[in-house]
């Protein structure tokens, strides 16, 4: 999904990235209908950013490729991965 400078009926995925001015592109890897296993966000220049629009730190070698970076006001930033069911919405199955 790509944001637009112009009014559109296409919604940008909710969850923080829709409100972050620096997030311009959202990518999701769906493994079946309504369930995705990876998410990525980019700015207008296609630089990877978090869902909040912050530049991503270097991903440690032991972090899986499909993990995404999360900043949380109640905890230190961390990398997470899991499958998301957009119908709930929420993580299903294992969550790391």
Each residue of 43-58: pLDDT tens digit? 999 999 998 899 999 9
Q: What is the pTM of this model?
A: 0.82
> 32 in a domain, yes or no?
yes
How many domains is the chain partitioned into structurally?
1
φ, ψ (nearest 5 deg) of residue 63: -90, 125
Per residue in 7-27, pLDDT tens? Answer: 888 887 877 888 888 999 999
> 29 in a domain, yes or no?
yes
Q: How far apart are the first and last CA of the chain?
A: 25
Encoded tokens for 85:
């069911």
> 60 in a domain, yes or no?
yes
> 49 in a domain, yes or no?
yes
Contacts of 4 (CB under 8 A, 6+ apart): 10
Encoded tokens for 82:
């899991």
> 9 in a domain, yes or no?
no
Q: What is the DSSP letter of 10?
A: S
Domain range for 41: 25-95
> 79 in a domain, yes or no?
yes
Element containing residue 35 per DSSP (H, E): strand 35-42
> 63 in a domain, yes or no?
yes
């Amino acid at each position: 999904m790509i944001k637009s400078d112009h009014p559109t009926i296409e919604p940008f995925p909710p969850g923080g990235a829709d409100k972050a001015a620096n997030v311009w592109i959202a990518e999701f890897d769906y493994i079946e209908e309504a369930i995705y296993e990876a998410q990525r966000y980019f700015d207008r220049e296609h630089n990877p950013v978090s869902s909040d629009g912050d530049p991503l730190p270097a991903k440690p070698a032991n972090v899986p490729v499909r993990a995404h970076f999360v900043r949380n006001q109640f905890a230190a930033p961390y990398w997470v991965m899991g499958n998301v069911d957009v119908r709930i919405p929420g993580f299903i199955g294992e969550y790391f």
